[in-house]
Structure 1
Amino acid sequence: MKESFFELVERCKALLNRLIQQSLRHQRIIRSILFFFAGLCILAVLFVAMVWVGVFGHVPGRDELRDIRHQVATEVYSADSVLLGRYYLQERSTVPGSDIPKRLKNALIATEDARFYQHSGIDTRSMFRVLIKGIFFQSESAGGGSTLTQQLAKNLYPRQSHVMFSLAVNKIQEMIIASRLESVYSKEEIIVLYLNTIPFGDNVYGIKTAAERFYSTPVNKLTTDQAAVLIGMLKATHTYNPRLFPERAKLRRDVVLAQMEKYDYLTKTEADSLQALPLKLRYQRITHNSGLAPYFREYLKAELLAWCQDHKKPDGTPYNLYTDGLKIYTTIDSRLQRYAEAAMKAHMKVLQTRFAGQVDKRSLKSAAASKLKSLPQYISESADGRPEKAIMADLKKSGMRKVFTWEGEREMKMSAYDSLLHHLQFLQTGLLATDPRTGAVKAWVGGIDHEFFQYDHVRESTRRQVGSTFKPVVYAAAIEQGVSPCDYTSARRTEYTNMEGWTPENSNSETYDQKYSMEGGLAGSVNTVSVKLLEKAGIPNAIAIARRMGIHSDLPAVPSIALGTPSISMMEMVGAYSVFANGGSYRKPVYLTTITTNQGKRLDSFGKNNKSERALSKETAEIMLHMLKRVVNEGTGSGLRSKYGLNNDLAGKTGTTQSNADGWFIGITPKLVIGCWVGADDPAIHFRSTSMGQGSATALPIVAGMLQRMNKDPELRAITGAHFPALSPELAGKLDCSMSRSDRNFFQRLFKTKKGVKHTRFKK
């Protein structure tokens, strides 16, 4: 029994020792586990500290966040404060918080961050789920943990790649930035920043641009269901784009409305009624090419880019046209621009139909052959070293291509070569309207469609033969040299022996037997009279007058300039005709008025130093204006009265070049000069019929259509109802003569004999 007791004691001691040993082992395991987690915490703290100090990339401080700058499109405005278009890399414009309606904010909070007003930038309730799923398992589907403030941080500072730690680093950076944002901005300011920076698809950034793009409305006019559509897009801007996927967008809208009901921003009745509404868009795309005056804005861009390089922001860096949100104010009148574009489209669509049967196929193919090597595809393949034969074969391979038609843009199966042929057949146009008193450009139409035809037919570098529109310059030079308006000039054909037997001809053979006063010669656009008046004025004097009237293009010192053989830009010609309407003084065309910051601070002003320069005597200008009125009332421009029913005070001159390649009309009203040109980009492609291709049939109708639309606008009565001043009795007396009389004597008229061609030398 005693042995059994001691044996039991030993067993108990052994058991106790085993228990002690096991306890020590468990303590070591627990200590190891504790040390492991402590180490993880230390590593996590170190990792966060490394992110905090910028080891993995710059983390903005509070001072930087106070001065947040995001890309904002520069906006171009008309003189009457209408948005013409934007310059941008990302289409974005900002809106102040006062213009953001409560219903839009409610939709955002209910859908994206219901506890927005309760947290301080980080929502700890969902943070642990994100840490476990996102950081430990590297799952991009973790979601749900990003507050509006964190999303704002991600928008302002896009995520970067950090190899295996990318998600962790980016999440921590966003939390740090979010915390700092909350310390710098109020909750309302954060919502405004968020809505001004978030992408909405279709390369649209910011709620202001999104409202304009998808609903053609300002932000403060968005209805609750419209706001729900736009907020619904934020989950996946492509998937829920209402333009591309209206059914998906409607389902997503209804989810947003349901969330608003869930968080008591809407009653159930309100939510149900809104969910029953159809999804209706009023989509408008204001891009670089669309909107009003795209050719003008493209012309203006080069000047603005140069301005930006020469002007510095407060931090010393140059302004950026595409990202700094400048506001550009111009002289363009949106109403005149709209009427000019409408008149152009209406007439050119009809004219193109008439032109289709006039195109010479051989000329078309010849023009295409000369332009093939300027195609981007040819240039690209040539740079890669491909043989020309192979390049040409590629240019003739069919594929789906977007092409211009007057019925709208179409996708058609054709080769690059066929596309070139297709687009070369279209007639182009250029129209410029300016205020002759100030030189302010009021309307600018550089072509028929900027998306497909970027070549601008208004700018100074684009020159076309001007035909008879140059004749008023010759007549003005003759008057300045002392030729009386009532001196009669024979229209008889003359061969100029010192000009290689050059013999100018008239379009109407009956004119050769007449003598014309200046008024008659100009009204009938008699070529032979113009040449003889140039001879009286002297070629050097005529060129000097043209220079003073703002024409700087090359003017060869040859008699044919009297017939308009020089190639001159639309801008120069309209500037020259403005001299007649401005009492003989020339003003350079101007188009910019002011550049401001996005907040409205003026940075620069323009046009104040555009002084007038004397080009003609006041008397000569008044005489010329009166004679140009006669052209409209009784001469080649009379269609304005008889066909288009215009009763405005009008003057002007038509012009048509050889082979009908160029048709011109320049009209003058007391407060507006409107120049218009029509022709194909390649002069080899032209009307075969003069009756169809002359300026009175091609260019004049566009000016007429613009004036008709202006006459219907009561707000433009100050322009359309203006009157030219009456001629003084003295000047009226100088013009008191018939426009023409016979150049044959009694016996020539009796026996109906015709005068032959006179042979002489041209006196320069």
Structure 2
Amino acid sequence: MAKVIKKKTTNSFSKFILWFWVLFASGIALVALIFLSASWGLFGELPPYEYLENPQTNLASQIISSDGNLLGKFYLDDNRTDVKFEDLPENLVNTLIASEDIRFMDHSGIDARGTLRAFAYLGSKGGASTISQQLARQLFVGVRSRNKFETIQQKIKEWVLAIRLERSYTKEEIISMYLNIYDFGNNADGIRSAARIYFGKEPKDLKVEESAMLVGMLQNSSLFNPLRREELTLNKRNVVLGQMAKYDYITEAEKDSLQATKMDINFNPENHREGLATYFRMYLQRFMKGWIDKNPKPAIGDERDRYNLYLDGLKIYTTIDSKMQANAEEAVNEHMTKLQAEFFNQNTTVRNPTTPFSDITPEETNSIMERAMKNSERWRIMSDAGKSEKEIRESFSKKTEMTVFDWKSPTKEKDTILTPLDSIRYYKTFLRTAMMSMEPQTGHVKAWVGGINYKHFQYDNVIQGARQAGSTFKPFVYAAAIDQLRLSPCETRPDTQYCIEAGKHGNMEAWCPRNSDLKYSGTSYTLKRALANSVNTVTAQLIDEVGPKSVVSMVRNLGLNGDVPEVPSIALGTLDVNVYEMVGAYGAFANQGVYVKPVMVTRIENKDGTVLYEYVPETKDVLSKDVSYAILDLLKGVTQGGSGTRLRTTGYNKWRPEYDEIITGYPYELTNPIAGKTGTTQNNSDGWFMGMVPNLVTGVWVGGEERAVHFKSITYGQGASMALPIWGLYMKKNYAMEELGISKEDFVKPEDMSIEIDCDKFTKELRQNNDVEDDLEDLDF
């Protein structure tokens, strides 16, 4: 009986073993079949092997400053810039592995232990997605479906793709691809954007606790967002730090210390309307679109394609210096805040019933408002939507909630309720500015500020805006006269009424210009003193002697491309010019008479580093060395005894105390040689200052959007009050940074200087020549 029982037990055990192997083999076969089915596309189309070997991601184009910093990017949806594995900090890689996939270096795409654990506990003790699987989902699978059957299909595809990725790439490449592809929110696409936006630094500089926060966001960047859910994100960061301690990447003591720290968020938004050099970036966008139109990609087969500024990851190397750009923007902000406060003080409705406009009729005011309304975005959008003109006009009178610009707010914005028409008038009250700084020897533009705030004032006054040059045009007249007549800056001309009769130089009527104070001193001025004090009568005499045609020819060669009529009145700066052209033209004076066209882009590369474009300088010899140096000598007189002397002094220029603070003096105290020229146009509508040191030429303009928006008196309305302070603040900041190398030396005098600039020596020689002439007259031949 016992033997029978033993036989049955043996048979039962054998069957169990048999069925076990059958089921085990069937399970393996089933898994293999599932993988094969997935690879055959039965669970949905998989990307081809070629795509796996070179997965395409949208890469933002980078704008790189001359000192190697990132100024900004061009992108549509993905603000992404790839970072190589060797540029990732070790603490970030360790944090990622400890938190997401501790056996990452040992598996081949699927973590078997983790998968079995997930099945056994139905995911209650964590999922089993490896870094490779997560990358596969990011690149090829997409957002997880809520349908359970589709979720299973997606998971199977992830397994297959993860294994393929492991075969195609190294572990290091997979880690860098994963961190580069992830969307961290707030336009932070990829680890480089995330490090810059959340902490204001490059990935290689991330601290352990910062890496832990970013890795914590990988689970769900919308949920664990430090800007919206600070406490939740902090807790998640601390969980990640706990994982690092668990796997011995940090000690328990380090964990406790780091978990006790706060998240030191340094939010630096990266978008097209904020950040450094916004106006320049928008100019660059237009430049790049023009370049792309003219430079298609190399032929591929029979097809030709164009570069995409927003997707192709181009690297655009610019001449802008990030430190000088920051100094320029700070100088504009400091001065314009106070200047605008004084403008508001002087243009209340009590003091000026037509505020913000002055010296115009109600009909002219209505014309300005009508034109602004029809040119507005609201009018365009409603018109495109098929709205009638009556409906559009009515909408401009309905009050609405809006965010407007405000100098007093820390964010430069405030929420208010206005009608769209009132908002137009409100924005007309703001003074605008433009500033450009250039290295004259190379033409490299170092700083570019097109306005006071790009988000609210998108018109770029550096290159789009053209306004009357005023007295900043006079050096061109002096240059033509010195060049053709070989005049010395020590030559004299009387300050008396001077008229050029009708028809002499093509002018229709007689032209008798007056000085700004409407007076004539009756004394003689040297050319140097006349330019320093902007004596109009002397400038009129010079253009009469040399002729307007010569002046026009010269300014054309100096890069002024606008409409320049050949009439005497151009001598006083009646033509419209922009800051970009004026800086280029003045650069020739500092560059020994050689005009160098301003350049902003030196090189363009594709994402692989292949050079697509390199700049070739455009130059032209316009003046001789001695003439250009004579002009510099004249312009140095402006800052030694003319309207630019406040750059040298610590005198006082008190502003209204009721507006936050008082400026107690000119805070520049510059002692080095400076060549410069102020300019003020009729009714104080435009204030200019052009300033030069040997290796930097900078132009500044300040004025209203409308010429009818201006100060009443020249005290505040002149170029020395409106524009010069920006130049002074900017240069003081530059000189505080010795690494910038801004010159404090004098301009180099030509060895063969043939024009006498020493007035004492000139006067002595003139007297000697006059004595000889008198002796000759006494002789009886």
TM-score computed with the length of structure 2 as normaliser: 0.82
Q: Structure 2 matches for 1:103-252, cutoff 5 A? A: 103-124=91-112, 144-159=127-142, 166-252=150-236
State the 1:277 CA deviation. Answer: 1.8
State the 1:218 CA deviation. Answer: 2.5
Partners of 1:447 and 1:453 within 8 A in 2: yes
Aligned-partner Cα distance in 1 for 2:132–2:344: 60
Partners of 1:50 and 1:56 within 8 A in 2: yes
Aligned-partner Cα distance in 2 for 1:720–1:175: 66
Matching residue's letter, 2:536: N
State the 1:676 CA deviation. Answer: 0.7
State the 1:468 CA deviation. Answer: 0.9
- Is the aligned partner of 1:526 residue 2:535? yes
State the 1:119 CA deviation. Answer: 3.4
Match of 1:355 among 343, 350, 353: 343
State the 1:106 CA deviation. Answer: 2.9
Aligned-partner Cα distance in 1 for 2:167–2:74: 34
The percent identity for this pair of structures is: 39
Q: Structure 2 matches for 1:249-288, cutoff 5 A? A: 249-288=233-272
Partners of 1:530 and 1:563 within 8 A in 2: yes
* SS class of match (2:269): coil
- Is the aligned partner of 1:462 residue 2:445? no
Alpha-carbon distance change, 180 to 387 in structure 1, aligned in 2, over 3 angstroms: same
Partners of 1:511 and 1:526 within 8 A in 2: no
Partners of 1:492 and 1:512 within 8 A in 2: no
Matching residue's letter, 1:690: I
Aligned-partner Cα distance in 2 for 1:625–1:510: 28
Alpha-carbon distance change, 591 to 722 in structure 1, aligned in 2, over 3 angstroms: farther
**Uncovered stretches (5+) of structure 1, i.e. residues with no partner:** 1-33, 739-764
Aligned to 2:396: 395
Q: Structure 2 matches for 1:604-753, cutoff 5 A? A: 604-607=613-616, 610-642=617-649, 643=666, 644-717=668-741, 719-725=743-749, 730-732=754-756
Alpha-carbon distance change, 292 to 719 in structure 1, aligned in 2, over 3 angstroms: farther
* SS class of match (1:654): strand
Partners of 1:492 and 1:514 within 8 A in 2: no
State the 1:54 CA deviation. Answer: 4.5
Q: Structure 2 matches for 1:4-23, cutoff 5 A? A: none
Aligned-partner Cα distance in 2 for 1:428–1:314: 46
Partners of 2:95 and 2:211 within 8 A in 1: yes
Aligned-partner Cα distance in 2 for 1:206–1:428: 37
Matching residue's letter, 1:371: A
Alpha-carbon distance change, 413 to 488 in structure 1, aligned in 2, over 3 angstroms: closer
Which structure: larger Rg?
1
Q: Structure 2 matches for 1:25-44, cutoff 5 A? A: none
Match of 2:493 among 469, 485, 488: 488
Matching residue's letter, 1:686: H
State the 1:614 CA deviation. Answer: 1.8
Matching residue's letter, 1:482: L
- Is the aligned partner of 1:331 residue 2:319? yes
Partners of 1:489 and 1:529 within 8 A in 2: yes
State the 1:50 CA deviation. Answer: 6.4
Match of 2:569 among 560, 569, 590: 560
State the 1:693 CA deviation. Answer: 0.8
TM-score computed with the length of structure 1 as normaliser: 0.83
Aligned-partner Cα distance in 2 for 1:668–1:102: 48
* SS class of match (2:184): strand
Q: What count of residue pairs does the alignment treat as equivalent?
A: 692
Aligned to 2:297: 312
- Is the aligned partner of 1:572 residue 2:577? no
Aligned-partner Cα distance in 1 for 2:423–2:600: 35
Partners of 2:137 and 2:143 within 8 A in 1: no
State the 1:502 CA deviation. Answer: 4.7
Deviates more, 1:514-523 or 1:89-98: 514-523
Alpha-carbon distance change, 240 to 672 in structure 1, aligned in 2, over 3 angstroms: same
Alpha-carbon distance change, 576 to 159 in structure 1, aligned in 2, over 3 angstroms: same
User: CA offsets, 1:691-710, max 9 Å, x none?
Assistant: 21111111111111111122
State the 1:655 CA deviation. Answer: 0.7
User: CA offsets, 1:101-120, max 9 Å, x none?
Assistant: 33322322333234434432
Aligned-partner Cα distance in 2 for 1:647–1:264: 60
Aligned to 1:60: 47
Aligned to 2:69: 82
Match of 1:448 among 449, 452, 463: 452
Q: Structure 2 matches for 1:470-549, cutoff 5 A? A: 470-482=473-485, 484-485=487-488, 486-494=491-499, 496=501, 499-500=508-509, 502-549=511-558
Matching residue's letter, 2:565: P
Aligned to 2:56: 69
Aligned-partner Cα distance in 2 for 1:272–1:483: 80
User: CA offsets, 1:82-125, max 9 Å, x none?
Assistant: 22122223222222212323332232233323443443223456
Matching residue's letter, 2:154: N
* SS class of match (2:179): helix
Alpha-carbon distance change, 239 to 587 in structure 1, aligned in 2, over 3 angstroms: same
Alpha-carbon distance change, 417 to 517 in structure 1, aligned in 2, over 3 angstroms: same
Partners of 2:496 and 2:537 within 8 A in 1: yes
- Is the aligned partner of 1:431 residue 2:439? no
